[in-house]
Structure 1
Amino acid sequence: MKNLIKPLLFVFVAVLFVQCGNGRYNIAKGKVGKLTTKTTVKELEQIFAKDSIVKILSEGAKGDNYFQDDDEYLIYEKGGKHLLTVVPKEQLDETSTLKSIQIFDERYKTESGLNINSTFGQINANNKISKVESSFSSATLFIDDLNTTITIDKEELGLKEFNMQKVSLEQIPDLAKVKSFIVWFN
């Protein structure tokens, strides 16, 4: 019995580490890694203490630029790899919760395996796409179950860029690659 306790304890601790490690990169509705709908801008420093944060701040209400950009917090690993771009709901407010998170690292993925490197075929097979919207240069897929949008370049669809031609799911090739992957917290 005594000989059995050590191996079982080792297995338990190993499983615990694997579970905790994977949680850092899980995407679900209202959750990206350790970020949730309740996370504030102020908490980003603590959550990403081992990473680097580049802040691109707007002028807020005090600025005279009518076309004001949102604040952006670019999260990088210490090695320089871009992980996420976080946009808060309110500009220049550390108590603001988060509006959106753009995914740049393939380790961030959903339970079904959806990540920035997924193809349209993988996305369509494992997720319910509620609608497709076209812009001049891309098609945006809306996945309501996860509150995400995924953008695919029109070039990947074999369509000319800079036209507003509507795109249907049937027109998108299975091998079309993701251009951007954003999780919304609204």
Structure 2
Amino acid sequence: MTKKNSLPLILLAISLFIVSCNNNSKFKIEKGKVGLITGKTTVQDLENIFKNDSIVKNLSEGALGDDYFQDDDEYLIFEKGGKHLLTIVPKEQLDSTSTIKSIEIHDRRFKTEDDICLSSTFLEISAYNNLRPESTLQSVTLFLDALNATITIDKEELGLKNFSSQKVSLEQIPDLAKIKSFVVWFN
């Protein structure tokens, strides 16, 4: 093979490598980062980050409303085809310059470096140090300090009745217990 013939192949290989790296970062979860969203990302940046996707805005009434118990603003990100990717909650309501408070993961393609994702089991999650459980009436919330994230497991996965205030220790959680929700916090 001559140098002239090999140059297009080398360029093609480099291009494929760059594209695959960019695609991986689109779904990567790290402390303070989910995909292309960081702690400095503002609400107005979401339009550009998700320009090929759909954003559904559920806005609260903010300080203008009569409801004292106001919900937070939510930005639901849907991929073309309708797949729900993320639910993003900003720190400040009705403020396009606000940074992000939390992101709930809805798509299994979002993964940590250790391949923790929505389809992970407790056995995979338990590898994290400083894993702290907290019981609620219907679930157990696991605090992952290394990611500044919370993972929720339904009490049904533990063989416990719903609506019980029984404390749950890490030893009580079965290895094959599945994740109900995965939220990354920015603070």
The aligned residue for residue 74 of structure 1 is 76
Alignment RMSD: 1.0
TM-score computed with the length of structure 2 as normaliser? 0.96
The aligned residue for residue 15 of structure 2 is 13
The aligned residue for residue 59 of structure 1 is 61
The aligned residue for residue 175 of structure 2 is 174
Distance 2:125 2:151 in 1: 9
The aligned residue for residue 133 of structure 2 is 132
Distance 2:132 2:76 in 1: 29
How many angstroms does 1:2 deviate by? 3.5
The 5 A counterparts of 1:26-175 are 26-125=28-127, 127-175=128-176
Q: Give the % identical residues.
A: 63
Which consecutive segments of 4 or more residues in structure 1 shift more than 4 A? none
The aligned residue for residue 186 of structure 2 is 185
CA contact (8 A) 1:58 1:69 kept: yes
Residue type of the alignment partner of 2:50: F
Residue type of the alignment partner of 2:99: T
How many angstroms does 1:7 deviate by? 2.3
Residue type of the alignment partner of 2:135: S
Residue type of the alignment partner of 1:148: A
TM-score computed with the length of structure 1 as normaliser? 0.96
Residue type of the alignment partner of 1:15: F
How many angstroms does 1:6 deviate by? 2.7
Q: Match of 1:20, SS?
A: helix
Distance 1:64 1:122 in 2: 45
Q: Match of 1:39, SS?
A: coil
Distance 2:22 2:182 in 1: 24
CA contact (8 A) 1:129 1:141 kept: no
Distance 2:14 2:52 in 1: 26
Distance 2:5 2:44 in 1: 48
Residue type of the alignment partner of 1:108: F
How many angstroms does 1:129 deviate by? 4.2
How many angstroms does 1:12 deviate by? 1.2
The gaps in structure 1 that reach 5 residues or longer are: none
Distance 2:93 2:154 in 1: 29
How many angstroms does 1:114 deviate by? 0.5
Residue type of the alignment partner of 2:166: Q
